[in-house]
Amino acid sequence: MFGYLDDVLDELVNRKLRIERDINEIKQRLSNSPDGSLRIASKPSGYQFYQKLKSYDSKGKYLTKKEQLLISQLAQKDYDIRVLPVLEKQLKKIRRFLDDLKLDEVLKVYDQLIPPRKQLVTPVYLNDEDFVKQWLSQPYKKLGFRSDDPEYFTENNERVRSKSEIIIANTLKSHNIPYRYEFPVYEDGVVIAAPDFNCLNVRTRKEYYWEHLGMMGDEGYVNNNIKKIEKYTFAKGFDETRLILTFESDKHPLNTRIIEEKIRRYLL
């Protein structure tokens, strides 16, 4: 990894994605906006609003208080028209910078080494495939199961503890999200918890911990998991912004749309 440069790249990539979303939303909003523009006149009693339907119309049609929605839509339209080219200019600059950076040239230096030489060096940057392979190969001790625990297996043929965990695991797999089941969280060398899934956002190379709380109708279960979440809060260096939570109870089963949204928001 490139250290500080990685943080800069993450910020740029996230900014690029945000601008792209904003541009799409603005264009969609403009396509549905009312005709004309808004003129605001200052009067002793306050402000008056007018809808200008023609560019040569210096005054426009007076809008009453009952037309507040139209007033707001016209104001938004005028703002969108002004901000759209600014965002498009920023997006163009970010794309040009990312293209000019040419990280592929750094990757090629390591990729072109023969296998025995690769084993002797520590690259400053790994390609995605090698990074994921290294991330998944990290050994850890799993929690294990009791003899009377039900047997649930994912598409990766790994044993989990519930049908809902099968759904989460298989959905992660379908989106090519690398994950480790019940990978431990340490503090001062001591395991404080083992979240259900430790997931990797390959694009940002950030880890996320996914806890599924599947028996929210059970008071004892809820209290135990409150204590578990509190451990994360007090753990040194644990970033709670990377904690993904899903819930279900007997009357409210796990919603697969929630799983998809969590993956889209944090892991893609």
Report the C-alpha dihedral over residues 103, 105, 111, 114, rounded to 10 degrees.
Answer: -150
Per-residue confidence (pLDDT) for residue 238, from 0 to 100: 82
Per residue in 129-161, pLDDT tens? 888 999 999 999 888 999 999 999 999 999 999
> pLDDT category, 5, cuts 50, 70, 90?
low
Say which residues have a Cβ less than 8 Å from residue 111's Cβ, sequence separation at least 6: 127
pLDDT at 44 over 80: yes
Give the SS3 label for residue 126: coil
Bridge partner residues of 43 (DSSP): 46
pLDDT at 35 over 70: yes
pLDDT averaged over every residue in the chain? 91
pLDDT at 4 over 70: no
The residue-averaged pLDDT of 234-240 equals 82
> pLDDT category, 241, cuts 50, 70, 90?
confident
**Residue 193 structure tokens:** 């918890």
The residue-averaged pLDDT of 102-124 equals 84
Evaluate the CA torsion angle 216, 221, 226, 228 in order and state its sign.
negative
Could you tell me the pTM of the whole model? 0.65
> pLDDT category, 6, cuts 50, 70, 90?
low
Per-residue confidence (pLDDT) for residue 3, from 0 to 100: 46
The residue-averaged pLDDT of 84-108 equals 87
Per residue in 152-191, pLDDT tens? 999 999 999 999 999 999 999 999 999 999 999 888 878 8
User: What is d(CA 248, CA 195) in angstroms, rounded to the nearest whole number?
Assistant: 16
User: What is d(CA 73, CA 49) in angstroms, rounded to the nearest whole number?
Assistant: 12
* Helix or strand holding residue 120 (H, E): none
Paired sense of beta strands 243-247 and 206-213, if any: parallel
Residue 37: how many CB atoms within 10 A of its CB? 19
Q: Which of 63-77, 87-101, 183-197: highest mean pLDDT?
A: 63-77
The residue-averaged pLDDT of 55-68 equals 91
